[in-house]
Chains A and B, each alone.
Chain A
């Protein structure tokens, strides 16, 4: 799993509340990504980071923000959660010393339920 952890692993919250998911890596990879996975779909990119304080939007970024203040941590925030954001969220990393930055390693996922 390339030293990637996600917290929390499960969360149930109510519509309108803020939620922050954390991705932590111990591999010193430069790139970090947040994806969501919904039934019948593959992973869809929400946001990614190509360095500390450098982030960009993916294909499904509306309603989400991210921050990366240090190499190890990439935070995903839902400012006001909606039921449509119920999903499984995956963090990924790439760009380590011994791997191509095109090869991504994934965390275990976080199941988020918004009631």
Chain B
């Protein structure tokens, strides 16, 4: 069974600064996907970024980028130029053969 660990229950960052959220996972699989989801107070789960394990290049989406270290089983999310609207809970998810395992989340607060 896969496990996903987010070791930072809460984090805060000043507006316009950069913050990195950590995620590690444990699996014996070689082919899988990794995702970061954002959950604002509205509860809606919003996909932030995805990474296919077979791709060495780190994924980027505007201000969001990942540092994917397959050998270390690490998948961190970097948010650049943080905005107040980035305040939310962030979940890391491991997906293999269509089945997901989620971490327990990191609550991020962006301070003005």
Asked if A and B are interacting partners, one says: yes
Residues of A within 8 A of B (CB): 1, 31, 33, 40-45, 48, 50, 58-59, 88, 90, 92, 94-95, 100-106, 108-109
Nearest-neighbor residue (CB-CB) of A101 within chain B:
B98
Number of interface residues of B (CB under 8 A): 24
Interface-lining segment among B42-50, B55-63, B69-77: B42-50
Sample of 13 more A-B contacts, CB < 8 Å, known A31-B98, A43-B100: A42-B102, A43-B91, A43-B102, A45-B101, A95-B98, A100-B33, A102-B32, A102-B96, A103-B95, A104-B95, A105-B47, A108-B44, A109-B43
A106 lies within 8 A of B45 (CB): yes
A-B residue pairs, 4 tightest by C-beta: A42-B102, A106-B45, A102-B33, A102-B95
In the complex, what residues of B have CB within 8 A of residue A1's CB?
A: 44
Residues of B within 8 A of A (CB): 1, 4, 32-33, 35, 37, 43-45, 47, 50, 91, 93, 95-105
A10 to chain B, nearest CB (A): 11
B104 lies within 8 A of A42 (CB): yes
A48 lies within 8 A of B47 (CB): no
CA distance A105 to B37 in the complex (A): 10
